Structure formats: structure tokens, C-alpha cells
């Protein structure tokens, strides 16, 4: 949000009417399909709802109090944070590098553009299977190619890094594409001028590319962190949370509580807790990245 910019434009009543007309359909849709179900989940989180027992009783904040002393919740939160930090960092750096390659004069551009979206286009459930096959402890390409024949998916401490690799593979195209599109908007004249001034590539990157990409990078960072914190498909197909729950993230814990156990009260509480974690992180980002970063 940039108030100075908004004020700089002359506005009339007609303008304002148009603004509401344009924003209204999206607002109504968002409210109906997103906000209402969330409120519904928040309401459920104040209840003990166990489908098997056909129970539904109001319990106030009891579910949240339980969460504070639930070791499985804290372990899932830790796993999720670990996953989010490493996967988002890796995706961010690789995305920058890949986007740089896409705008560079590298040979094979056409091939690069065609292949870079592949990982993302593979349905998530299938990409999990592809990698499970590559990580197969007996016949996997990766297991065989690396020394020590590590049982990646079956050893606590190794399974999470393997899941991070899969997620990075799957989502780097998303990050690359966004950065690439933003990078194309930077006028080439700026670069030419800097090159004439004899600036080094690193310096050009630091003082032109990075500042001009900042708004996009902020969006990428926020969107990716939100997704990483809710990671489900990739890990669920790969390990389903094992071994010894060492890859159980908040979303997997939530899923199992809701859809395996049918405990909708506790499950909704977990969803709201995930939501609150993500909210705190986004607020922190917005503050950290400053006003230009916000949008």
C-alpha cells in the first residue's frame, strides 16, 4: 500500500463507484468460498467433535489448552519450520539463479524455457511417487548413485532432507517464473548504463536487480512460506509422516486428525493454529520488508 500514490491520482465519485464495482465480485467470492469456511472451522475448533462417537459439544478453548501440552503438535511445528526454512531458502536462491539464466544470453534458451515448468506440471501426487522411486532403498537411482546406499526415506534425519529436495524440485518453477516475469520488466537501459560505467555483475545485481525485484521477491517469499507451512502432498506421498513421525508436518497431523481419526474439533484447532503461525510469519515479513514490499 502506498498512500502517497493513491492520493496523487484525482478521484471522482464515478471513479469510486467503478472501484467498488470492480472489486465487489472478487470480494463476494472470497467471502463465500474462503472466509465462511474458515469461520466454520474456527467455530468447530471450540467444540469437541468426534465423528465416530457422534459427539458435538461446546468446550470453549479446551482444544487450544490441549495443544499447548501436546508433544506431537510441537514436534510437527518444529518439523514444519525446519522444512519451511530450508525449502523456501533453497527455492528462493535457485529461483533467482534460474531466472537469471533465463534472461541471460545463455545458449539453449528455448529448451530451458520448455523444461523449467515440467516439475511443476507433474501432478503433486505423482511427483511424490517419482521421487519415492528415485529414493527407493534398493533400486533407486539416487540411492545407487550416491555412496553409502543411504535409506533416505526410512531413516530419521534423512527423510526430511529428501522431502525438501522433492519440494524444491516441484516448486522452483513457480518461483523462477514469478522472478523471471518481474525481471523482464526492468528496463534494459539501466543495465546498459551500468555496464558502460564499468560496474561488476555482482554490483549490478546488488544495486539494480535486487532493489527493483524487491516487491516481487516479497510476494514470492510470502506465498512460498505460506505454502511451505501447509505442505502436504509431497511429504504425504513420500513418507506419510514417517519414520517415527520425523517428517510429520502440521498439515499432515491435521489431515490425519481430521480424515483418519475423524476428530474434527482437534483437527480444526490444528488448522487454526497453523493459520495463526502463518499469520505471524506474514506479519513479520511485511514489517521486515517495509511498505514497498507489501504487494
Partner 1 sequence: MPRRRLLAGLAALALEAGGCRRRPVVERRPPGPIRLVFQHQPFLGDPSPLRQLFEDFERDNEGIVVATELLPSAPGAVHQYYLTALEGGSRDFDVFIIDVIWVAEFARAGWIAELSSAFPPAVVRREFLPGAAEAVIVGDATFAVPWYVDVGVFFRRSDSVPQAPRTYSELVALTRDAVAQRPGMRGYVWQALQSEGLVCNVYEAIWGHGGASMLGGRLLLDTAEGRGALDYLRALVACGISPGSVTSMAEEESRRVFQSGDAVFTRNWPYAWAEAESVGSAVRGRVGLSALPTADGSIGRGALGGYQLALNASTPAWKVDAAHRFIAHLTSAEANLAIALAYGRNPPRAAVYRDPRLLAGAPAIAGLLPLVERAEPRPVTPYYPMIDGTLAAEFSAAITGVRSPAEALRRAQAEVDHLMRGDD
Partner 2 sequence: MKRLGLALAVAVVVLFCAGPFLWQVLTSLRPEGDLTSLDFPRSLTLESYRSVLTGRPFARSVLNSFIVASATTVTSLFFGATAAFALAKLELRGRSFFLGMALLASMFPGVAVVSPLYLAVRALGLRDHLLGLVLPYTTFALPMAVWILTGFFRAIPDEIYRAAIIDGCSPFQAFRRIMLPLAAPGLGTTAILLFISSWNEFLYALALTSSARARTVPVAIGLFGGDHKEPWGEIAAASVIAMLPVILVALIFQRWIVSGITTSAEKR
The entry of partner 1, partner 2, none that residue 154 binds, CB within 5 to 8 Å by partner kind: partner 1
Asked if residue 98 lies in contact with residue 116, where contact means CB atoms within 8 angstroms, the answer is yes
The entry of partner 2, partner 1, none that residue 282 binds, CB within 5 to 8 Å by partner kind: partner 2
d(CA 85, CA 16): 42
Shortest distance, position 6 Cβ to partner 1, whole Å: 37
The entry of partner 1, partner 2, none that residue 56 binds, CB within 5 to 8 Å by partner kind: partner 1
d(CA 150, CA 140): 10
- Site map for partner 2, 249-278, x if CB under 8 A? -xx--xx--xx----x--xx-xxx-xx--x
By C-alpha distance, which of 289, 237, 291, 272 is closest to 47? 272
C-alpha cell at 264: 474434527
Residues facing residue 58 across a β-bridge: 47
Given the rule CB under 8 A, which of 44-52, 79-87, 190-198, 227-235 is the region that contacts partner 1? 44-52
Q: Which is nearer to partner 1, 86 or 264 (CB)?
A: 264
Q: Which of 74, 115, 207, 287 binds partner 2 (CB under 8 A)?
A: 115
Can you tell me whether residue 153 is helix, strand or coil?
helix
C-alpha cell at 293: 514490499
H-run or E-run covering 5: helix 3-8
Can you tell me whether residue 51 is helix, strand or coil?
coil
Helix and strand element counts for the chain (H, E): 16, 2
Query: According to the binding rule CB under 8 A, does residue 116 interact with partner 2?
Result: yes
Query: According to the binding rule CB under 8 A, does residue 78 interact with partner 1?
Result: no
d(CA 73, CA 10): 52
Given the rule CB under 8 A, which of 28-36, 60-68, 81-89, 202-210 is the region that contacts partner 2? 28-36
Query: According to the binding rule CB under 8 A, does residue 261 interact with partner 1?
Result: yes
Query: Interface residues for partner 2 in 42-71 (CB under 8 A)?
Result: none
What secondary structure letter does DSSP report for 262? -
Q: Which of 82, 100, 122, 151 binds partner 1 (CB under 8 A)?
A: 151
If 0-12 CB within 10 Å is exposed, 13-18 middle and 19+ buried, where does residue 50 land? Answer: middle
Query: According to the binding rule CB under 8 A, does residue 146 interact with partner 1?
Result: no
Can you tell me whether residue 238 is helix, strand or coil?
helix
Q: Which of 85, 133, 192, 291 binds partner 2 (CB under 8 A)?
A: 133
The entry of partner 1, partner 2, none that residue 58 binds, CB within 5 to 8 Å by partner kind: none
* Site residues (vs partner 1, CB under 8 A): 40, 50-56, 135-139, 151-156, 239-246, 248, 256, 259-263
Amino acid at each position: 500500500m502506498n498512500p502517497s500514490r493513491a492520493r496523487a491520482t484525482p478521484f471522482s465519485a464515478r471513479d469510486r463507484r467503478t472501484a467498488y464495482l470492480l472489486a465487489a465480485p472478487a470480494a463476494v467470492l472470497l467471502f463465500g468460498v474462503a472466509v465462511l469456511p474458515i469461520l466454520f472451522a474456527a467455530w468447530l475448533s471450540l467444540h469437541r467433535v468426534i465423528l465416530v462417537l457422534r459427539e458435538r459439544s461446546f468446550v470453549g478453548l479446551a482444544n487450544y489448552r490441549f495443544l499447548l501440552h501436546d508433544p506431537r503438535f510441537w514436534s510437527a511445528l518444529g518439523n514444519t519450520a525446519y522444512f519451511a526454512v530450508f525449502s523456501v531458502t533453497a527455492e528462493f536462491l535457485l529461483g533467482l539463479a534460474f531466472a537469471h539464466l533465463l534472461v541471460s544470453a545463455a545458449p539453449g534458451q528455448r529448451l530451458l524455457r520448455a523444461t523449467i515448468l515440467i516439475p511443476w506440471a507433474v501432478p503433486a501426487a505423482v511427483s511424490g511417487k517419482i521421487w519415492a522411486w528415485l529414493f527407493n532403498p534398493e533400486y533407486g537411482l539416487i540411492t545407487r548413485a550416491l555412496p553409502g546406499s543411504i535409506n533416505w526415506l526410512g531413516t530419521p534425519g534423512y527423510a526430511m532432507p529428501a522431502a525438501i529436495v522433492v519440494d524444491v524440485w516441484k516448486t522452483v518453477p513457480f518461483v523462477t517464473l514469478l522472478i523471471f516475469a518481474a525481471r523482464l520488466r526492468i528496463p534494459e537501459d539501466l543495465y546498459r548504463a551500468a555496464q558502460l560505467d564499468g560496474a561488476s555483475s555482482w554490483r549490478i545485481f546488488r544495486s539494480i536487480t535486487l532493489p527493483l525485484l524487491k516487491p516481487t521477491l516479497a510476494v514470492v517469499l510470502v506465498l512460498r512460506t505460506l505454502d511451505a507451512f501447509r505442505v502436504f502432498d509431497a511429504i504425504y506421498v513420500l513418507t506419510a509422516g514417517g519414520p517415527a513421525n520425523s517428517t510429520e508436518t502440521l498439515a499432515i497431523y491435521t489431515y490425519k486428525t481430521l480424515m483418519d481419526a475423524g476428530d474434527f474439533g482437534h483437527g480444526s484447532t490444528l488448522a487454526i493454529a497453523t493459520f495463526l503461525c502463518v499469520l505471524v510469519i506474514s506479519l513479520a515479513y511485511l514489517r521486515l520488508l517495509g511498505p514497498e514490499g507489501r504487494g
